[in-house]
Chain A
Amino acid sequence: MGRHLYSLLLLLCTPLLIAHVVRKYRRENQDPMVSHRLGVHVPDQMEGCVWIHACSLGEAKVGLELARALIQHDASLRILMTATTPAGLGILANSEFTCHVFPWDFSWIWSRWLSKLRPKALIVIETELWPNLVDACHKASVPVILANGRLSDQSVRGYERFVWVSRPMWSKVSRALMQFDGDAHNAHSLGVPAHAISEVGSIKLDQSAPQISRERANQITDWKQDNVLICLMSSHADDDALFIDWAQQHPDLRLLIVPRHPVRGLEIKTLADEHAVDACQVSKGILDNAQILIGDTFGDMGAYLSASDVIVIGGSFS
């Protein structure tokens, strides 16, 4: 009953969903791929695949690591990978695996997908489970495995607000491979049977450190000179204001702001201008006299980290 109510609400919200993704992704100069999200297209020639779903960039990297390790153990496996965001899809598209946009959670889409794909298993990376998808897999006897699972207390509170639809979903998970003790405890509290839960650590800790672009790292080192460089990593709008204000009070320090979404580079530059603090965007060239550098480029994480003296993780101050 709860899932049907959820499906009805999802259907009623579809026009809003379409408007949201079109506006969001067009603003980021990305293709919103609405027809894919509405399930018009089903991956071809992937019958009997192992399907790995990763929401966005971080999960996609974990998914690729896992897919490659699975292939090393069993070269006969055929892997289909899906992602939701353009960043996630971008990294999957450049891999050796077939990839596809993850559609919205409508039952009729999953019945088409599952009847055509007949997957051996669905592996969901970290956290993104959907009620209709899990139910469809359960009915089709497709095991649903949560890999590298993480569930913060905040996520649990969110799921508990919709317990009428979330508990039946979690109870149908075949295997929950949770990162740490707290994640495993939270999975059980949401309804995953105890025998299906294992604590296995995080694949992220097996990943190699990001590659360092020497050219970019040297540019940043030249810019910071002998000053201490504080890096605000994965910043959100609230963090930017706090740190620009802080930089203004510490003109002897240099600040590197790396926004969670690089598209916000200009927004941060404007904010710094309003505070009368010299700032520049890496994407537009590094200026020697800038006190704040805005790291709004892709692929330079290694350079940003290696040149910094202190890293502050954004999104953690509110």
Chain B
Amino acid sequence: MHNFQAISVGLEAAGALLRTDAEHLSQAIDEVLAKADVMGRAANAWVEANRGSTELQVQAILAQIPGR
């Protein structure tokens, strides 16, 4: 999760991701299978709520480019 630390925290808080360890893998998979629909909808909602970053970054970058 090192490359996705913040995204994984957000998804977990939204109920779209389950964190487990090797010892509890089977139990976690059973749990995800049991609530796959709910988790899928939560993931979709979280992604939708966090869209729009490209436009924010473009505006910030253009403001930094000299002579514009």
Interface residues of A (CB under 8 A from B): 50, 58, 65-66, 69-70, 73-74, 77, 120-121, 123, 143, 145, 147-148, 150, 152-155, 174-175, 177, 179-183, 198, 200-206, 228, 230, 242, 246, 250, 309-310, 312-313, 315-317
B21 in complex: contacting residue of A175, A177, A317, CB < 8 Å: A317
For residue B50, CB closer than 8 A to chain A, the reply is: yes
Interface residues of B in 1-21 (CB under 8 A from A): 1-10, 21
The 5 closest A-B pairs by CB, nearest first: A201-B53, A180-B6, A152-B5, A200-B56, A206-B54
One of B10, B29, B61 near A121 (C-beta < 8 A): B61
Determine whether the beta carbon of A177 is less than 8 Å from that of B60: yes
Provide the bound-state CA to CA distance between A182 and B51, in Å: 18
Contact B57 A203 (CB under 8 A): yes
Q: Is the interface of A mostly helix, strand, loop or mixed?
A: mixed
B21-58 interface bits toward A, Cβ cutoff 8 Å, 1 = contact, 0 = none: 11001100100110010000000000100111111111
Cβ B57 vs Cβ A310 within 8 A: no
CA distance A182 to B47 in the complex (A): 18
How many angstroms from the CA of A85 to the CA of B5 in the assembled complex? 23
Q: Contacts of A155 on B, CB cut-off 8 Å?
A: 2
Nearest CB of chain B from residue A89's CB, rounded to whole Å: 20
| Residues in B whose Cβ lies below 8 Å from that of A175 | 60-61, 64
List residues of chain A with CB within 8 A of the CB of B32. 310
Of the residues A179, A203, A315, contact of B6 by C-beta under 8 Å = A179
A230 to B57, CA, bound (A): 36
Name, among B9, B54, B56, B65, the residue most crowded by chain A CB atoms within 10 Å (CB to CB): B54
With contact pairs A180-B10, A182-B5 given, residues A69 and B22 touching in the complex (Cβ less than 8 Å): no
> Contact between B61 and A230 (Cβ–Cβ < 8 Å)?
no
Does A152 lie within 8 Å of B3, measured CB to CB? yes
Chain B residue numbers with a CB within 8 Å of A73 are 58, 62
Nearest-neighbor residue (CB-CB) of A181 within chain B: B6
